[in-house]
Amino acid sequence: MARYIAQRLIAMAITLFLIISISFFIIHSMPGSIVDDPMLPEDVKLAIEDKYHLNDPMPIQYGYFLKDFLSFEFGTSIKVQPRVPVFDIIKAKLPVTLQVNIFSLILTIPIGIILGIIAALKKNTMADHIISIMVIFFISVPSFVFAALLQYFIAFKLGWAPIMLSPEATLTWTKFKSMILPILALSFGGIATITRYMRSELCEALNSEYMLLAKTKGLSQVQATVRHAIRNSFIPLANIIIPMFFGILGGAMVIENIFGIPGLGQLSVNSINALDHPLTIATLFFYSLIGLVTILVVDLSYGIIDPRIRIGGRK
């Protein structure tokens, strides 16, 4: 196991390095200059660009970049928040994105699982059909359409919740109230995904032979379902819940945009728009790291959740 994890970590580091290098070249070959004030004299502009080595040839810039990167020095933001270390900016933006998304998950997972169990137990009845229609509807309609509908009807017409996120820094009751709509808009898709998955897994489990065995041994249908079928169908569910859990760190850019949430999604768009290279690379690095860690955790969790699955080459 330890050997397998070590191998995976090395492979991950190589992938991460390649990703960062590719992003470096894409980002630095983008046209435009960070100095966009036309009133600034030419020599000042050159001096600013020189300070960040932007006028050196690409390989030399890459050399500087690698030197900093290997010593985990990501530098400071050039434009979005000048002279602030990039990871401090990310740290500052992270909490609000995390809050919205964790609340959304708290709502999504139990509702999704419960609806999935209902649909599977009442397979091919009215309840199942209604849930299926709901699932296909929630999966298809984009989250930003839900966001617009909620904003117009719930917030504007009925006035039940604020239209925009309240700007308070700490999590207060008013802030939570203004978060309800973005949380809802983010949750619908996730609920539908989990419901759909749970239903198909549980349907399969209910028809399996161990259920028959459990019942012949004298368990009632309810006991057999709760103790065997549902527990077994939770295993594959980990495959989608773990990525969801890490995916929340990426944030939902459009939802953040619509409700004016100053989170990570907005930050990455702003940094690309402003040609703020160190910040862009840092956000990219952050996203890639999360993506790769997710894959690793999912792979490792197979073995932990379900001991029947063995990882690595050896038996």
Partner 1 sequence: MDEMKNMKLSKEDFEFVQLDHDIKDEKFQGEAIGFFKDAMLRFRKNKASLGAAWVIAIIIFMAIFGPSMNEYTYRQQHVEWALLPPRVKGLEKIGMFDGTKVMEIKKESMEGKYQGAVVKIIDEYDKEYNGVKVPMVKAKINMYKVKGADDVYFWLGTDSIGRDMWTRLWRGSRVSLAIGIFAVLINMIIGVVYGSISGYYGGWVDMIMQRIIEVIGGIPSLVLIILFVMYLGSGIVPFILAMVLTGWIGMSRMIRAQFYKYKGQEYVLASRTMGAKDKTLIFRHILPNAIGPIITQATLAVPGAIFTESFLSYLGLGIGAPEPSIGVLLAEGQKALLEYPHLTLFPAIIISLLMLSFNLFGNGLRDAFDPTLRGQE
Q: At what angle do helices 126-140 and 173-206 cross, to 10 degrees?
A: 130
Q: Which stretch binds partner 1 (CB under 8 A): 93-101, 136-144, 174-182, 228-236?
A: 136-144
Residue 196 backbone class (left: φ over 0; alpha: ψ -120 to 50; beta: rest): alpha
Instruction: For the CB of residue 203, give the shortest distance to partner 1 in the complex, in Å.
Output: 7
Collect all residues with Cβ–Cβ distance below 8 Å to 20 and sequence separation of at least 6.
69, 281, 284, 285, 288
Closest CA to 163 of 182, 145, 142, 144: 182
Q: Residue 302 and residue 255: Cα distance in Å, rounded? A: 32
Tokens of 290: 């999360």
The residue from 165, 258, 279, 282 that contacts partner 1 (CB under 8 A) is 258
The residue from 93, 196, 228, 277 that contacts partner 1 (CB under 8 A) is 196
- Given a contact cutoff of 8 angstroms between Cβ atoms, the answer to whether 99 and 180 are in contact is no
Q: Of the two residues 96 and 192, which places its CB atom closer to partner 1 in the complex?
A: 192
Q: Which stretch binds partner 1 (CB under 8 A): 87-95, 214-222, 238-246, 280-288?
A: 280-288
- By CB under 8 A, is residue 180 in contact with partner 1? no
- By CB under 8 A, is residue 144 in contact with partner 1? yes
Chain residues 89-118 in contact with partner 1, contact rule CB under 8 A: none
Q: How far is CA 23 from the centre of its chain?
A: 20
Q: Where along the sequence are the contacts to partner 1 (CB under 8 A)? A: 15-16, 18-19, 22-23, 26-27, 29-31, 135-137, 139-142, 144-145, 148-149, 151-152, 156, 163, 196-197, 199-200, 203, 250, 253-254, 257-258, 268-269, 272-273, 283-284, 287-288, 291-292
